[in-house]
Chains A and B, each alone.
Chain A
Amino acid sequence: MIVFDNVWFSYGEREIFKGISFRAKFDERVALLGESGSGKTTILKLIVGLIKPDRGRIFIDGVDITELSEEELIPIRRKFSIVFQEGALFDSLPVKENVAFFMRELLKIPDDEIYSRVSELLRLVGVQGSEELMPEQLSGGMHRRVAIARALSVGKTKMFLYDEPTAGLDPINSQRIISLIEDLANREKTGFMIITHVVYVAWQLCNRFIFVENGNLVFDGNKDELISTEIPAVKNFIKELFFKVK
């Protein structure tokens, strides 16, 4: 369970969150919606303790993570598999080494076993045969899929965190990523939190929607509540959805 309790956060003078609170179970499928710069990525970084709130508390599985050191945060972070925007692959390593990276660093298993798991993961995300390619040789969609394979490499996760997984992709590749996210959640029996400003992606994948605006959570509800909301900012944001549904 993720619990945000009256969390305040600012980047210097710029206030991002003015006391946000919410709870999310690990098996939920949550979409974080909002305009660019509204602080959606900041929520993911707060969840895994990459940044600390100015005020308020964040609990992961009942543990207050706001005062934990980097070492104490390691078991908390292992509960999540995070895929950053554009994949965050290591530029100097080929695909197979990117996927093998954390297995080699953390699991200390023999090379044969590592490479057989790499092949298995790449097959799972549909980019088999690209083992020797460098990240700059991959398309946007392949980049994300390799990043997802890497996120799966170190074992069982409680929740996937995706930061703009379809940003900059064409509709076909977007749909491939959406299917992959859904398949993985079903296969691993976990939930996910996804950041997107493409409301149609959120609609397809999630059953809970959180809308961030001007430092506050202005909406938190399910599909029915989303389409019937009277909050102007949210209504304006989901216009695209009505157009697609029609």
Chain B
Amino acid sequence: MLCINSIFKLFKRPLYIDDVIEQMEYAGSSSVFIISLVCLFVGMALSLQLSAELGRLGLKMYTGKVVGIAVIREIGPLVTALVFIGRVGAGQTAEIGSMILGHQIDTLRVYGIDPVKKVVIPRVIASVLMLPCLTIIGDLICLFGGYYIAVFVSNQSGSFYWSSIIRELNFQNVFSGVIKPFIFGYLISCISCFYGLTTHGGAKGLRTSTTKAVVTSIVVVIAMDFILTRILLYALGFSV
């Protein structure tokens, strides 16, 4: 209901642009460091594993190609979304939950301000806009981590690594990787706000709703990733 409600109320006045910008700053620029850090290590680990396995088959030169496809289509969007759940989604649930417990949401309602418009929609817009941006940054850092391992540990050619990746930057791969974060951002934010708004029962209730929001978001994002992958592979003409 909240997902549908937030779409219907998206363009109704007032628009609360300042709140959207504030939430974009919280969801976006404040998350860049942690997402970069996680993606760097994921990229390095992926490159290390692939170099070892492909090296045994004499196919080490394909490390860049496989890292590129895996990161752009799958690992980048998923890892970024999972970090986003832990950092931004949990924060949204905790913040809205504490507003419920502190009667701040009731105060808004008493004065005729719709909490969905004022509190939920700016967070949903911020998540939908910022997660794709964070995913692009995460993808680049992930690829850079892979490059570091491929060149300085696995002794491969750096220019060949990048040229293999650039060859994979076609419409199908980029579209697969870019469309997912929009949907993930929307789902994460709706789930987090829903659990925040339904918080009750003091500090224990806040803990429960934050945990539920994180667990539900993780499961929904991973399941949705599978569904989207299946749909996109079919729609973009890949054979499985």
Which of A24-32, A73-81, A122-130 forms part of the interface with chain B?
A73-81
Stretch at the interface among A60-68, A82-90, A188-196, A201-209: A82-90
Interface string of B73-110 (1 = CB under 8 A from A): 00000000000000000000000001000111011011
Query: In the complex, A78 Cα to B109 Cα: how many Å?
Result: 11
Q: How far is the CB of A68 from chain B (nearest CB, A)?
A: 12
Q: Which residues of B contact A85 (CB under 8 A)?
A: 103
> Would you call A84 and B112 a contact (CB within 8 A)?
no
Distance in Å: Cβ of B64 to nearest Cβ of chain A: 45
The residue that A50 contacts in the complex, of B14, B102, B110, B114, with Cβ under 8 A, is B110
Q: Which residues of A lie under 8 Å from residue B109 when comparing CB positions?
A: 50, 70, 77
| B152 on the A face (CB < 8 A) | no
* B111/A70 in contact, CB under 8 A: no
Chain A neighbourhood of B106, CB < 8 A: 45, 50, 84, 88
Which chain B positions have C-beta within 8 A of A84?
103, 106-107
**For residue B22, which residue of chain A has the nearest CB?**
A92
Whole-angstrom CA separation of A228 from B110 in the bound complex? 38
Cβ of A106: which chain B residues have Cβ within 8 Å of it? 111-113
Contacts of B113 in A (CB 8 A): 102, 105-106
State the CA gap A48–B110 with chains docked (Å).
Answer: 7
Alpha-carbon gap, A102 to B110, bound state (A): 11
Whether a CB of chain B sits under 8 angstroms from the CB of A184 is no
Q: What count of chain B residues pass the 8 Å CB interface test? A: 13
Separation of A102 and B111 alpha carbons in the complex (Å): 7
B114 touches A70 (CB 8 A): yes
The docked-state distance in angstroms from the alpha carbon of A246 to that of B107 is 40
Interface size on A, residues (CB 8 A): 22
Partner of B104, one of A70, A80, A88: A88
- Docked Cα-Cα span, A88 to B111, in Å, equals 13
* Shortest Cβ gap from B2 to chain A (Å): 15
Kindly state whether residue A154 has any CB partner on chain B within 8 Å: yes
Bound Cα distance A195, B112 (Å): 23
Instruction: Please give, as numbers and ranges, the residues of chain B lying within 8 Å of A74 by CB-CB distance.
Output: 112
- Docked complex: B103-138 residues within 8 A CB-CB of A: 103-104, 106-107, 109-114
Q: Is the CB of B111 within 8 A of A154?
A: yes
Closest chain B CB from A84 CB (angstroms): 4
Give min CB distance, B132 to chain A, whole Å: 26
Of chain A, the residue at the smallest CB distance from B104 is: A88
Q: When chains A and B are docked, how far (Å) is the Cα of A45 from the Cα of B100? A: 13
In the bound complex, what is the Cα–Cα distance between A50 and B100 (angstroms)? 12
Contact at A90–B110, with CB atoms within 8 Å?
A: no
- Neighbouring A residues of B112 by C-beta, 8 Å: 71, 73-74, 77-78, 106
| CB atoms of A77 and B111 under 8 A apart | yes
Q: How far is the CA of A45 from the CA of B200 in the complex (A)?
A: 15
6 more CB-based (< 8 A) A-B contacts, given A77-B111, A88-B103: A74-B112, A84-B107, A86-B103, A88-B102, A91-B104, A105-B14
